[in-house]
Amino acid sequence: MVLAVSDQAIHCQVKSLQDDSMFFVSFVYAANKYIQRRPLWRELNMHSSFIGTKPWVMKGDFNTSLSVEESSIGSSSGTISMREFKECVGAIRMSDVNHSGFRFTWNQKPNSSSGILKKLDRVMVNDVFIDKFFDSYVLFQPYKILDHCPAVLKIPIGVELRGNHSDLATI
């Protein structure tokens, strides 16, 4: 169910038909310029208050990295954009979910070998989500026709009740 829509995010509530487990998902497509992302950081802070102690996932293109190590050009210092993103993520207490696949999720020139690579796309969760869906993970798949890697979130359904890992929900 869609709860709210803005220029940079869609906030939804998801309920499993299999076991009635529920969590919230925010799909993010952040603006290109850091000043234009500031309303998104405020919105995520407000949404965090609404979520409270319920499981929450943020998934999408944040158009900034969290650290200098998340770029192939290896800048020696962080940017305002990184600092503001890190402050937001810290304030709303989100962290990257376990993941595999591609490290850098954006390729400046996907059809060339000379492009800059960065981690702009992520799937982040709160501690409540980790506690409830502890075996969840993300697979960052190869670039195909786009300059971003698709991110597939796998959520074992019924983990907390049955421990059954054969049934997976995919977002």
> What is the domain-level CATH number for residue 35?
3.60.10.10
Q: Is 25 helix (H, G, I), strand (E, B) or coil?
A: strand
Q: What is the pLDDT of residue 12?
A: 97
- Rounded distance between C-alpha atoms, residue 24 and residue 92, angstroms: 14
Torsion of Cα atoms, 141 then 73 then 26 then 144, to 10° = -30
- pLDDT of amino acid 30: 96
Q: What is the pLDDT of residue 164?
A: 35
* Dihedral pair phi/psi, residue 28, rounded to 5°: -115, 135
Overall domain count for the chain: 1
The residue assigned the tokens 């650290």 is 67
Q: What is the pTM of this model?
A: 0.84
Phi, psi of 141 (to 5 degrees): -85, 165
> Over the Cα atoms of the chain, what is R_g?
16
The pLDDT tens digits along the chain (171 residues) read 999 999 999 999 998 887 788 999 999 999 999 999 999 999 999 999 999 999 999 999 999 988 888 777 766 667 899 999 999 999 999 999 988 877 777 777 655 666 788 888 899 999 999 999 999 999 988 777 677 888 999 988 654 433 333 344 556
Residue range(s) defining the domain that contains residue 126: 2-170
CA dist., res. 47 & res. 44, Å (int): 5
Cα 38 to the center of its chain, rounded Å: 17
